[in-house]
Amino acid sequence: MPRKLRVFAPWRRRSSGTPRKQGLRDEIELRLNGLLIRLLRDMGFNWPHEVHIVVPRAEFIRAFQNGRLVEERTILSSISIVHAPKHPPAEGSEAPFSGDPPPRGYS
């Protein structure tokens, strides 16, 4: 089964008459040989961040004898799901998006 990566982009599907919800929405779906990893996150603020899923090693092994499948193995290691807000601005510099309140924990 080939791997599929689907990144949901709600801004591409929004009609012009639909009001925009305040904040950010992330949705990532990754399918790897029967494994489903799905990240859904709604945030009520517009603070820049990055979201990614890292699969540094994925092996799909099939062993055959006399033309018949005798063993099938899937090895996935060190899967990381990261949602990382950017650091608050340094003293004396401007916020990435001025006007929006920073998320909790940022001053």
pTM listed for this prediction:
0.50
Q: Which helix (H) or strand (E) holds 13?
A: helix 10-13
| Contact (CB, 8 A) for 28 and 53 | yes
Report domain extents, the chain.
4-85
Residue pair 5/30 in contact (Cβ under 8 Å)? The answer is yes
Give the CA count within 13 Å in the CB-facing half-sphere of 96.
13
pLDDT in tens, the chain (107 residues): 555 555 545 444 445 555 555 677 888 888 888 888 888 887 777 777 788 888 888 899 999 999 999 999 988 888 888 888 777 666 766 655 545 555 565 54
Are residues 24 and 49 in contact, defined by beta-carbon separation less than 8 angstroms? Answer: yes
